[in-house]
Amino acid sequence: MPAISIKGMSMPQSPIRKLVPYAEDAKKRGTKVFHLNIGQPDIKTPRVALDAVKNNTLEVVAYSRSEGSEEYRTKIANYYSKNDISVNANNIIVTTGGSEALLFTFGSIMDTGDEVIIPEPFYANYNGFSIASGVKIVPVISKIEDNFALPPIDEFEKLITPKTKAILICNPGNPTGYLYSKEEIKKLAEIVKAHDLFLIADEVYREFAYDGAKHYSIMQEEGLEEYAIMIDSVSKRYSMCGARIGCIVSKNSAVIETALKFAQARLSPPTYAQIASEAALETPQSYFDDVISEYVARRNTLIEELQKIEGVKVAKPKGAFYCIAELPVNNADDFAQWLLEDFELNGETVMVAPAAGFYSTKGLGLNQIRIAYVLKKEDLISSVNILKEALKQYNA
């Protein structure tokens, strides 16, 4: 029989999606499953975006430009200007989701065997993107005891080799919810300039900053123009995960010109999704005010309830809508599967994402889970109550 590639066999399963069959089986048995495993907001997509697709008069769904329509890119640049980020349409390439933006970025700046330093835990698909690109992730460990703050700069320094091409951060972070401060961004800026590296920032959760904190983009940092590559997406901002529209933003013309060649190879981003995403830029600030208020209330509810469970340690997120919780179990993968296969409380159970898949260092995160607080407060309270009872029975 023909053999599967080493690259294919090395591709990791998604820690977010690999338990789906067990959840489906639980539902078939009549068990209600609370989904804490995936960052799919229950917030409604802005009506202006939905109406733009519903009411459009296209008679031919044609290819768009490979870099995205000029009108849409100009409007994205205008959106950024409102966030103190000065770019123009030529600094932007529209992609099929933030995922494609990262793949194009990896392909544009790294060759097989090159290295990218990433604070871990990190978004699990970074592992898949690196394998698909032939790139090695070099992790620098952030700790739950420090609320997953940026590790000391000397920890980065120790890891830099001739193969290092970039540092990648997610800000605010998935899965930790950590929001990097302006001072931390400046420290990263210093190190990439000193070692001639790229600084890639996945900023898809920019709007989700809490407790009066303000998001500081790498694109706002002076002197970083040739080093900074920003990844963005409409998925979380407008609750449009299925639109699959993202973008690469950089003032480094060589990066944009190279990424455009990758964009041309896949022809163009989806037309209808660009129509919806362009319209979404008209979403009023009141929408975001309401969304942020709701997520702060959900975060507070979740953290308060988790802190009531003996043996559970939880980091308090400053942004996004995720948190990492450390459980009194040896193997969160086994526990998460057991929750779906063998446990229910009054006909209900929960689905969580085991956190080991958000690390690349073997053995880390084995007793941690990622929770997405994308459910209403009542459901979060029920979910944590189920989790509390489940831990009692599992450890018994």
Residue 4 burial (C-beta neighbours within 10 Å; 0-12, 13-18, 19+) = exposed
Is 347 within a domain?
A: yes
Based on the fold, state whether residues 221 and 76 are members of the same structural domain: yes
Please indicate, yes or no, if residue 49 is contained in any of the structural domains. no
pLDDT of res. 41:
85
In a domain, 56, yes or no: no
Boundary-marking domain end, from 219, 251, 280: 280
226 and 334 fall within a common domain: no
Same domain membership, residue 148 and residue 11 = no
Same domain, 76 and 134: yes
Asked if residue 359 belongs to a domain, the reply is yes
Task: Tell me: do 187 and 324 sit in the same domain.
Answer: no
Boundary residue ending a domain (212, 245, 280) = 280
157 and 199 inside one domain: yes
Same domain, 312 and 267: no
Tokens 């793949």 identify what position?
A: 103
The residue among 278, 343, 216, 370 whose CA lies nearest residue 76 is 278
> Does 1 map to a domain?
no
Same domain as 326, residue 235: no
Per-residue pLDDT tens digits of the chain, which is 396 residues long: 999 999 999 998 887 788 999 999 999 999 999 999 988 888 899 999 999 999 999 999 999 999 999 999 999 999 999 999 999 999 999 999 999 999 999 999 999 999 999 999 999 999 999 999 999 999 999 999 999 999 999 999 999 999 999 999 999 999 999 999 999 999 999 999 999 999 999 999 999 999 999 999 999 999 999 999 999 999 999 999 999 999 999 999 999 999 999 999 999 999 999 999 999 999 999 999 999 999 999 999 999 999 999 999 999 999 999 999 999 999 999 999 999 999 999 999 999 999 999 999 999 999 999 999 999 999 999 999 999 999 999 998
For residues 236 and 316, state if they share a domain.
no
Which residue range is the domain that position 256 belongs to?
61-280
Tokens read off for 52? 């733009």
Domain count, the chain: 2
Residues 231 and 340 in one domain: no
CATH no. for residue 263?
3.40.640.10
Pairing status of strand 92-95 against strand 353-354:
unpaired
Pick from 243, 241, 281, 247: nearest CA to 48: 281
Domain boundary (230, 247, 280) is at 280
The reply to whether 53 falls in a domain is: no
Q: In terms of domains, do 199 and 75 share one?
A: yes
What does the pLDDT read at residue 13?
82
The answer on 65 and 186 residing in a single domain is yes
- What is the reported pTM? 0.95
| pLDDT on residue 349 | 98
CATH code for the domain of 347: 3.90.1150.10
